Amino acid sequence: MRALVALAWTAALTAADAPWLAYAYPAGGTQGATVAVTVAGERLIEATGAHITGSGVSVRLVTTPVAPLNAQGKPKKRNQTVMDEVGQVELIIAPDATPGPRSLRLLTPSGPSNPRTVIIGNVPEFSEEATPARKPLTVPALPATLNGQLLSGDADRWILPGKAGTPIAIAIAARALIPYIADAVPGWCQPQLTLRDAAGRELASADADGFRQDAALTWTPQADGPLTLEVRDVLWRGRADFTYRITLGDPRPAAAASPIADGWEQVRISAGSAWERSFAGTAGTTVELGVRARRLGSPLDARLELLGADGAVVASADDTTDRADGTTTHHADPELLATLPADGTYRVRLSDLLGRGGDAFVAQVYAGAPRPRCDLLAAPSSLGLPAGGSVPLVIHAVRRGGHAGAIALRLADAGDLVLDGGLIPAGADRVQATLSCPATAPPGVLAPRLVADEGVAVWSDDNMQAFLWMQLVPADAPAVQVLPPAALRVQPRTAVLALVPGRTARIEVAIERGPGWDGDIRIALHQPPPGVSLRNGRIKAGASEGRFEVLLAADAAVPTGNLIANATVSREDGVRPDGKPRRLQATAWLPAIPLARGAP
């Protein structure tokens, strides 16, 4: 029964309860290798396995993470640990495995952890554990990949072979492995690379690669002999999740010029000047203006203006936040829609906000009819779903070019899974929905796709950057772990909830309980729409059916979307060390209930 109790938590997990994988080290391996990887985080001590995306690589749990101890040798309390539940997995990489990033997760009775990136390579790899602390490790030949961790105040050193006239390209991946660290400023590891000669003289250094926080540099030795590569955090910060991978080899080929799509024009901004283009406009016509510059690697901090025939500014934009681009923290490319107030000649003006310019300040500009389109993102990318139950998710719509219609989503490659409430209302930028599956669904891990006429949703995770900002970070694939049935199941008999301002609406439910879970059931609403509140959210002990009510405030607009609710029951299970009763809790999510306007 204890296993059933643990599973009952599956559908109740929040971001604060879910298993957390802080890091994996080394973060990958080469083709044909079997790699022992240290994994660490919190709420991982009940891990039962591991999962990795893509073909050609398998993973097994070797050592389950153990509960950490404090200085007195006692188990740490909850929220006293972030990444000191430490275990080990083993990556078995096929010789023909496709190189590139994969997502690694630990599997637990509550569902999968968040993903961490591991990278499959195709050259020899080295890890800093192979040498005593602070002692440089010698890399015998290039190309190669180096794996390391930067601890507090740490600087790793590697001895590289140098050959006169042969350039060496050095590129590090650190932020690419862990894009955001919630409790650090800046909110990621920012590595600095420094190359020195045999006498210790600095030859080259870099702490970024353009606008990427992962540094890169290229150096051509003037003579044969060893070189020392020094790696540290720019601010001398460090801890176990400051992991990195360095690729060493021939210089990367120059990036191909970005193609110019239909309707876009390539421009260059000179220092202190602006680019302009005129067009004839008709009153009431809507135009779309857009810039791609920072997304192309340009230093341009664009300011976009639409000017009338008299030179007055009709509309302007500076930075336009793009939630679909979750790993960028400075969205410097503006977009806007504007309705022309009169017939006449209009000018589009593009300039740098700081008055800079030059050969590198290139941009692509669109000025024309609106192109309605939408990017879709679903979060979280890791879900634990008990057979016969439901689990919530949020589907975001990043609308562009005046897109405002309703978006109907459906599942593909989903096995027995069902999407409840997968309609994003017209004009809305998100909807809360649920995934459900029948009680007969077999256990396993699925990677469903969410599909709409607008395209395929990208599965993502809402990550915190530096104590405050939340970013949607894309994952290469989702992991929906189907678990055994939970101890509580609550199914609504109400297909659509019709709401009227100032009135309550009733939801009838059917209840299935595991043995011993006969107590009162309490209903809670999860992030209800404005003006919606719970009424009569208690179902009596032992009941196999019941009801609860919700109220729409008299001054509230009738909401669209879905109502998301969960049900919780508790029971006693022995005595705690302090003599008080130990209580266990089972929580289940109800499938999403669509909202509609009721008859007054």
Which residues of the chain have a pLDDT value below 50? 1-14, 130-131
| pLDDT tens by residue, 238-259 | 999 999 999 999 876 665 666 6
CATH 2.60.120.380 positions along the chain are: 125-249, 264-371
- List strand residue ranges (DSSP E) for 241-343, in order: 243-249, 264-268, 274-281, 286-292, 302-307, 313-317, 335-339
Q: What fold does the segment set 2-121 form as a domain?
A: Immunoglobulin-like (2.60.40)
For residue 366, give the amino acid letter: Y
Structural element, H or E, at residue 141: none
* 264-371: in CATH 3.40.50.300: no
Residue 323: predicted pLDDT? 92
CATH no., domain 125-249: 2.60.120.380
Structural element, H or E, at residue 5: helix 2-8
Residues with Cβ within 8 Å of 357's Cβ and at least 6 positions away in sequence, in order, are: 268, 269, 270, 271, 272, 273
Q: SS3 string of 146-210?
A: EEEECCCCCEEEEEEEECCCCCEEEEEECCCCCCCCCCCCCCCCCEEEEEECCCCCEEEEECCEC
Dihedral angle over CA of 71, 75, 80, 85, nearest 10: 100
CATH 2.60.40.10 positions along the chain are: 2-121, 374-483, 488-597
Residue 582: predicted pLDDT? 85
**559 backbone dihedrals φ, ψ, rounded to 5°:** -80, 160
Q: Is the peptide bond before 386 cis (omega within 30 degrees of 0)?
A: no
| pLDDT tens by residue, 100-138 | 999 999 999 999 999 999 999 999 999 987 445 568 899
Cβ neighbour number for residue 204 with a 10 Å cutoff: 16
350 burial via Cβ count (<10 Å: 0-12, 13-18, 19+): buried
Residue 469: predicted pLDDT? 84
587 burial via Cβ count (<10 Å: 0-12, 13-18, 19+): buried
Q: Structure pTM?
A: 0.92
Residue 133: predicted pLDDT? 58
| pLDDT tens by residue, 459-475 | 999 998 888 888 999 99
448 burial via Cβ count (<10 Å: 0-12, 13-18, 19+): buried
Q: What fold does the segment set 374-483 form as a domain?
A: Immunoglobulin-like (2.60.40)
Residue 575: predicted pLDDT? 80
Q: How far apart are CA 398 and CA 374, in angstroms?
A: 5
CATH no., domain 488-597: 2.60.40.10
Residue 8: predicted pLDDT? 32
Q: How far apart are CA 295 and CA 299, in angstroms?
A: 10
Whether 433 contacts 408, CB under 8 Å: no
Q: How far apart are CA 205 and CA 88, in angstroms?
A: 34
Residue 55: predicted pLDDT? 95
Token couple for 85: 């539940």
